[in-house]
Structure formats: structure tokens, C-alpha cells
Amino acid sequence: MTNKFVPVEKLRAFAVSVLRKAGTDVVSAEGSARALAHASLLGVDSHGFRLLPVYVEFLRTGLIKRTPAMNRQDPKPAVAIIDADGGLGHAPAYAAAAAACELARTNGIGLGLVKRTSHFGAAGAYAMAMAEAGFMGIAMCNSGALVALFDGTKPFHGTDPIAFAAPATNSVGAKHNPFLLDMATSSISWNRVSLAKTLGRQLPFDVAMNQAGGFTLDPEAVTMLAPLGGREFGYKGAGLAGMIELLCAVLNGTRFGFELDTTVHADVDVGNVMIAISPGQSMSSEMATKRVGHYLQTLANHSTATKPVFAAGGPQWISRDERMAKGIPLPDALERELQSLARSMSIDWPPS
């Protein structure tokens, strides 16, 4: 297998062009392209540009609205609610993250909620947006039932991701890579199953299940995922997913995962929760970000010459630096898919 490398900004512009040709408004197209670029740049390829044809298909079939009437309400001093109106999930998630930061500047903490929304890609994109604005950020989303309960044999929860990012500076106040945790509450994301199919790879043991409720390595046989912790410790992932379901569905007045139709990426009644927290609560924000940097540096000091130790997000910064220099790697199968998409829309490929 070979990879073609394309600069991230060219792929981002290509995604905007494709989504606009598919009928979306500018805000939706740019929000989605931004989220896809975030994932591909950080090496989260399961949630990156490989999803572009998927979103186009759901726009084409009308499962996701092309031009939603997104709007915002502020029912309480520290709360904003974004109604996504059944459109692509990325732009309203960014809007909620921005609203949470705006409210946190005044209140110390801000809650941005998104209702009637769809798949928003990598949760870390929105936690990172809050961290880049100077806040500790938490992003969560519920989704259609794809994950079995612990010792269960039928889907109940969604993959229900959670992400947390904290801005950091070094001892002299220079910007440091943030702490970034981005994880599904399933043992593996559904997108990684799809990626394994594309690449012709087997899955790890203990992460996915077949129709009979047994564990399988074959991505073609997967009908549900195992909760985080797998066969022995899946009660942890199932419990965490339950927390996210309650926050995202109850606070937003949307449906639980088990009440959705479970068309992957096209559920349009899921909820997002964005929480922005000012790091300057018990100390100045400047001192707080230095403390985060001190934590990260102390953790890194546990590395050896042969075995590096990373905080959450560490491998992603390596990927980001490499891909900023070389471009986003596109496996043959993905390049053919994007090329076909470009041809069908009379858009140049490779993107210029």
C-alpha cells in the first residue's frame, strides 16, 4: 500500500468545495472541513477526511439537512443552547464551544449545549478549540446504540465520546502543547472498524462483537462494539457511557442512544455538551497554565532513551508536526474514493 501526501490546507479547501457542491451553506461546510482537518492532522484518521464521502452521501439522501436554520438561545447566565436543526454536527459544536468560552469569561464556567444535531467527528476538535481560547474544555456527545452493555449481547449505548483539553505554558510563560484526552467510551470507535475494512486489517481482540454477541477480529462481521474495558472490565466504559448519555440527552431534551434509529453518522437527534472552565479559579490563569505545563513536563521526565512516556495528546502532537511538514497521507483506497468524489462534482483532483 502506498500513500499520497496532500497538504492539510489543500484538503480542507477541497472539503469545503465538495460540501458546498453538495448543497451545504458556508458555515456548515467550513465547520465540517475544520473538524476533518483537525482529526487528520493529529493522526485520528478514522475521523478525518475519509468521512467526507460519508457526509456527502447523507446530504444527498436528505438524512442530514443541507442548509439548517441553526440558532442560539441563552436561557440562563452561564448556559447557551444551540439548535442544530438536523444539519451537519461540526459547525454547531464549534458554536457551542465558542459560546461556552464566551460565558466562562464572565462566569468562570460556561455550558454550551447542542440539540437536534448529528455526528460531530472527533470530540477533541471542540475541547481543543476551548483550550486554544484559554479555557479548560470538556466536549461530549451521545449517539445511536452501537455498544453492548458489560456482559450484554445487544447494543444499548452509543460510542459516546468525551474529550478534555487544558491549555499549558512552560515555566517562563511560553506556549506549550496542551493536555488533550479524546476517547470513545467503547473499546474502539465505529470509524476504526470502518477504517479496518478499508485497509483490509483485522481488529484487536476484545473490542468488537458479532451478531451473536461474541467477540470477533473480522471487521466485516462486526455488528456492535464492546464497552471500554472489554471482556473483563467493560463495566467501566458502560458506566462512563451512561453518564454521557444522561448529560447529553437529558440536558438537551434529545433521545437516548437506544431510542435512535442508529444510522451511523446520520442520527439527527443526538446532543452535545461543551463545558469551558476558566483555569484562573484558585490562582491566576497564567499560574494555572504553568501548573499544567509543569505536570506535562514532569510526566515526560519519566521517559527513557528507549521508551518515551506521553501524556494524553502526546502522540498527536508528533503526528501534527510530521503532517504539517509532509502533508496528510492518503492510502490508495481513500485517494481513489476522494478522486471519484471530485470527478462526480467536477472539482479538481488532486486539490490545487
pLDDT at 102: 98
pLDDT at 173: 80
Please name which of 124, 100, 126, 141 lies closest in space to residue 181, comparing C-alpha atoms: 124
Element (H, E) at 90: helix 90-107
Q: What is the CATH number of domain 3-300+311-344?
A: 3.30.1370.60
pLDDT at 266: 66
Residues 6+ apart with CB under 8 A from 78: 103, 104, 106, 107, 109, 110, 111
Q: How far apart are CA 121 and CA 131, in angstroms?
A: 18
Q: What is the pLDDT along the chain (352 residues), one digit of tens a residue?
A: 557 899 999 999 999 999 999 999 999 999 999 999 999 999 999 899 999 999 999 999 999 999 999 999 999 999 999 999 999 999 999 999 999 999 999 999 999 999 999 999 999 999 999 999 999 999 999 999 999 999 888 999 999 999 999 999 988 788 899 999 999 999 988 878 888 887 889 999 899 999 999 999 999 999 999 999 988 899 999 999 999 999 999 999 999 999 987 666 667 889 999 999 999 999 999 999 999 999 999 999 998 878 888 899 899 999 999 999 999 999 998 999 999 999 999 999 988 8
The SS3 of residue 235 is helix
Residues 6+ apart with CB under 8 A from 239: none
20 in Cβ contact with 33 (< 8 Å): no
Q: How far apart are CA 315 and CA 294, in angstroms?
A: 18
pLDDT at 344: 95
128 in Cβ contact with 135 (< 8 Å): no
Q: CA dist 13 to 49, 123, 210, Å?
A: 11, 21, 39
pLDDT at 260: 85
Length of the chain measured in residues: 352
The set of long-range contacts for 330-333, using a CB threshold of 8 Å and a minimum separation of 24, is: 330/3, 330/4, 330/5, 330/6, 330/49, 331/1, 331/2, 331/3, 331/198, 331/199, 332/1, 332/2, 332/3, 333/198, 333/199
Burial 213-246 (b: 16+ CB within 10 A, else e): eebbeebeebebbbbbbbeeebeebbebbbebbe
- What letter would DSSP give residue 281? S
| Boundaries of every domain in the chain | 3-300+311-344
Please name which of 139, 148, 145 lies closest in space to residue 121, comparing C-alpha atoms: 139
